[in-house]
Amino acid sequence: MSPVLLATLVLLVPLASATVIALFLRRQGALASTVSVVAAALIATISGYLIFGGHRFTGSMEWLTLGTFSLRLGIKFDDLAALMLFVVSFVGFFIHVFSLGYMHDDKARARFFGGLSVFMFSMLGIVLADNLFMIFIFWELVGFSSYLLINHYHERQSAADASKKAFIVNRVGDFGFLIGIVWCYWANGTVDLSVLAEKSTVGALVFSTGIPLALFCGALGKSAQMPLHVWLPDAMEGPTPVSALIHAATMVAAGIYMLCRIQVLMVPDALTVIMWTGTVTALYAALCAITQRDIKKVLAYSTLSQLGYMVAAFGLGALSVGHATHKGVIAGALTAGAAAAMFHLATHAFFKALLFLGSGSVIHGCHHEQDIFKMGGLKGRMPLTFATFTIGVLAIIGMPYLAGLFSKDAILYLAYNNNSAVFAILATTAVLTSFYMVRMWKITFLGEARSHESEHAHESGISMTLPLVVLAVLSIVGGYGLVFRHLGGSLTDAIPVAHGSDHTVIFAVSLAVMLVGAGSAWFFYKPSADDRLEKGAPGLFTLLASKLWIDEAYLWYVAKVQQRFALVMNFLEQIFIAGLIVRGAAGLVGLVGIGARALHTGRAPAYAYWFLIGLVVLGAYALKVF
């Protein structure tokens, strides 16, 4: 089979699986989960063949044309897509396997696995799409599947609210994305990624700060950057495998992937905005993570923070060339910033999926207890989960020789070179990252069991521990050039690597931030039933726990502004337009009618008077009196 056909197959297999489950297997949970997992395995197999077989190609067909305006559907499979495909198909497959165990007793298992297949279909569509319009279609579809899966426990009001929030917040970003696509079309005559890249090589591309920023709105929503970040922590209401797959490893990273796809459209001003958005999000989310009690919420804020890292990396642009000469230079190839962002995206997908699945294993073991202060002592009861989780923690805090260090250092080096303020903030974020991760790890696993649930914790079954082991291995080896080259291909060369004295500085800084953060958390927190920071510094704790009242601001907007605006509109409708104007006009007509009726008295003298008055008026008019 030709590679294009295989890639199409990759896209169609999950769609077929979802269709079969939705139509025939709604009540057959076991069968539905098998179908879905087999589909995921098939995707991974074909993807592996495409990625490691060195197949790179494009192919497309027309979807609709209107004169000169044409929209196409097509596949663009380059090194960037190959890397993303690896993340989605392989991490996705292991999360499917994990779900077999995790969701085993769920009543709505069929709906869950059907949802996963829908998600795989739409996510793979984003990865393989060769034009922005097609990306947008699948972009909305992932949003919808994410909505379905967050809403899995829909009988919980919080889950229903969270899914609603995710859907609407994403819709806000997506509309900006849509405007960007339309704008790009009118400016450049195409939204085809390959054609845009060709145009930029010959300098025929029309640049505008508005285009990349409008497109960035899409990433703002999907990759949950400030100020559209509010949906992601709430999205943890979904089942944990969903959090791992959609809200950590793949969908939320789609924003960064999309930015890399449209890199040729970037201009310096837009990059600066993107860089600062990412930097601020990274720091903000790391601060929020410190006070969280829910194990998944800690990981959610950590994901936000790491996504901020990637967005910031992308915004930093080319290495040491500076922003001013950026335009046009990077035609075709990815900048150092984009490569570093994708590198971190991949390693993050490994260790964050590992951490989420680990937390899933913990939650499963503790009979759905999610509060870390009610856990403790899991080290001995869940040894395999503990070991792999520890690897995940070490990878994310940047332990030397694990994957996270390499990708994080690439970003730090880039920042060090291009912008010292960003470098300082990202380094601070790294301190906070190791601080909150070690806090969570220590409170969860060490010490004595602090609740009935954690006392009776048990290690999870093979379907859940196997994915943990595989992801732990990837979290260790995924950062090495030798391994990464197989996944990222030519992308590997663009990753910024420090040499000489720079290398020493970066290495020292990242080691120092890790040790400071991890050390202070190690000594500060004891595995106990309450948060020592809350006791020790209540003022600081309250400030951090407030998350700067951003959620409250949105709630205020929805309740006090939007809802009231709707009510005012409705009031206007009922009272002003339907009441005053329509009834008023009717009343006026009625009044005229009453007046006219009053004239028709039926008495001859009255008519004679009217006749006389008319005669006088006409006569006056004829004699030009007025």
Partner 1 sequence: MTSQGFLDTHLLSILIFAPLAAAAVSAVLRSEQAQRIWALVATTALAALSIGLWCRFDASTHAFQFVENYSWIPSLKINYAVGLDGISVLLVLLTTLITPLCVLASWTYIKKRVKEFMIALLVMEAAMVGVFSALDTVLFFTFWEAMLIPMSLMIGVWGGPRRIYASLKFFIYTMAGSIFLLVSIIAIRLQTGSFGIQEAMGHPFSHGFQLWIFAAFFLSFAIKVPMFPFHTWLPAAHVEAPTAGSVILASVLLKMGTYGFLRFCLPMAPYATQVLAPYIIWASVIAVIYGGFTALAQGDMKKLVAYSSVAHMGFAVMGIFSLNQQGLEGATLVMINHGITTGALFIMVGILYERLHTRELDKLAGLGAKIPVFTGFFGVFCLSSLAFPGTNSFVGEFLVLAGGFKASPWAVVCVVPGVIAAAAYMYRVLQKFAYGSAENPEHHEVADLSLREIITLAPLLFGVFWVGLHPQPLLNVMKVSLAHVLEQAQRHL
Closest approach of partner 1 to the CB of residue 34, in Å: 22
- Closest to partner 1 by CB, 178 or 425: 178
Does position 511 bind partner 1 by CB under 8 A?
no
- Closest to partner 1 by CB, 181 or 412: 181
Torsion sign across C-alpha atoms 22, 27, 29, 34: negative
Q: Which residue of 41, 137, 267, 446 would you call a contact of partner 1, by CB under 8 A?
A: 137
Backbone φ, ψ for residue 609 (5° rounding): -60, -45
Q: Which residue of 185, 276, 386, 413 would you call a contact of partner 1, by CB under 8 A?
A: 185
Closest approach of partner 1 to the CB of residue 315, in Å: 24
Cα–Cα distance for residue pair 507/401, rounded to 1 Å = 12
Which among 446, 284, 270 is positioned nearest to 375, based on CA atoms? 446
3-state secondary structure of 61: strand
Cα–Cα distance for residue pair 474/479, rounded to 1 Å = 8
Q: Which residue of 171, 458, 526, 560 would you call a contact of partner 1, by CB under 8 A?
A: 171
For residue 92, give every residue at least 6 positions away whose Cβ sits within 8 Å of its Cβ, in sequence order, or none. Answer: 40, 43, 44, 120, 123, 245, 249, 250
Stretch that binds partner 1, among 458-466, 474-482, 527-535, 572-580 (CB under 8 A): 572-580
Instruction: Pick out residues in 55-94 that bind partner 1 (CB under 8 A).
Output: 63-67, 69
Would residue 174 be called left, alpha or beta, if left means φ above 0 and alpha means ψ between -120 and 50 degrees?
alpha
Number of residues that bind partner 1 (CB under 8 A): 43
Task: Count each helix (H run) and each strand (E run) in the chain, helices first.
Answer: 30, 2
- Closest to partner 1 by CB, 543 or 575: 575
For residue 126, give every residue at least 6 positions away whose Cβ sits within 8 Å of its Cβ, in sequence order, or none. Answer: 135, 138, 139, 142, 254, 257, 258
For residue 107, give every residue at least 6 positions away whose Cβ sits within 8 Å of its Cβ, in sequence order, or none. Answer: 29
Closest approach of partner 1 to the CB of residue 18, in Å: 13
Place of tokens 């994957």: 403
Closest approach of partner 1 to the CB of residue 30, in Å: 20
Stretch that binds partner 1, among 76-84, 170-178, 336-344, 537-545 (CB under 8 A): 170-178
- Closest to partner 1 by CB, 201 or 574: 574
Instruction: Pick out residues in 11-30 that bind partner 1 (CB under 8 A).
Output: 26
Stretch that binds partner 1, among 4-12, 311-319, 473-481, 563-571 (CB under 8 A): 563-571
3-state secondary structure of 450: coil
* Exposure b/e, 251-274, CB count within 10 A at least 16 = b: bbbbbbbbbbbbbbbbbbebbbeb
Which among 397, 436, 402, 427 is positioned nearest to 522, based on CA atoms? 436
Does position 136 bind partner 1 by CB under 8 A?
yes
Q: Which residue of 566, 575, 608, 617 would you call a contact of partner 1, by CB under 8 A?
A: 566
Q: Which tokens go with 481? A: 């050039």
Q: Which residue of 421, 581, 588, 620 would you call a contact of partner 1, by CB under 8 A?
A: 581
Closest approach of partner 1 to the CB of residue 580, in Å: 11
DSSP labels, 317-348: -STTT-STT-TTTTSSSPPHHHHHHHHHHHHH
Pairing mode, strands 57-66 and 69-77: antiparallel
Closest approach of partner 1 to the CB of residue 24, in Å: 13
Q: Which long-range CB contacts under 8 A does 499-505 form with residues at least 24 apart?
A: 502/413, 502/416, 502/417, 505/416
Does position 504 bind partner 1 by CB under 8 A?
no
Stretch that binds partner 1, among 235-243, 287-295, 431-439, 575-583 (CB under 8 A): 575-583
Does position 216 bind partner 1 by CB under 8 A?
no
Does position 615 bind partner 1 by CB under 8 A?
no
Does position 577 bind partner 1 by CB under 8 A?
yes
Q: Which residue of 530, 573, 592, 617 would you call a contact of partner 1, by CB under 8 A?
A: 573
Closest approach of partner 1 to the CB of residue 546, in Å: 26
Closest approach of partner 1 to the CB of residue 71, in Å: 8
Instruction: Pick out residues in 149-168 that bind partner 1 (CB under 8 A).
Output: 151, 154-155, 157, 160, 163-164, 167-168
Q: Which residue of 570, 584, 610, 611 would you call a contact of partner 1, by CB under 8 A?
A: 570
Binding string to partner 1 for residues 521 to 560, with x set by CB under 8 A, is what? ----------------------------------------
- Closest to partner 1 by CB, 555 or 606: 555
Backbone φ, ψ for residue 192 (5° rounding): -80, 125
Does position 141 bind partner 1 by CB under 8 A?
yes
- Closest to partner 1 by CB, 160 or 516: 160
Cis upstream peptide for 227 (omega within 30°) = yes
Closest approach of partner 1 to the CB of residue 189, in Å: 12
Cα–Cα distance for residue pair 475/483, rounded to 1 Å = 11
> Which of the 8 DSSP states describes residue 91?
I
Closest approach of partner 1 to the CB of residue 484, in Å: 34
Cα–Cα distance for residue pair 22/16, rounded to 1 Å = 10
Applying CB under 8 A, the residues found at the interface with partner 1 are 26, 63-67, 69, 136-138, 140-141, 144, 151, 154-155, 157, 160, 163-164, 167-168, 171-172, 175, 178-179, 182-183, 185-186, 562-563, 565-567, 569-570, 573, 577-578, 581-582
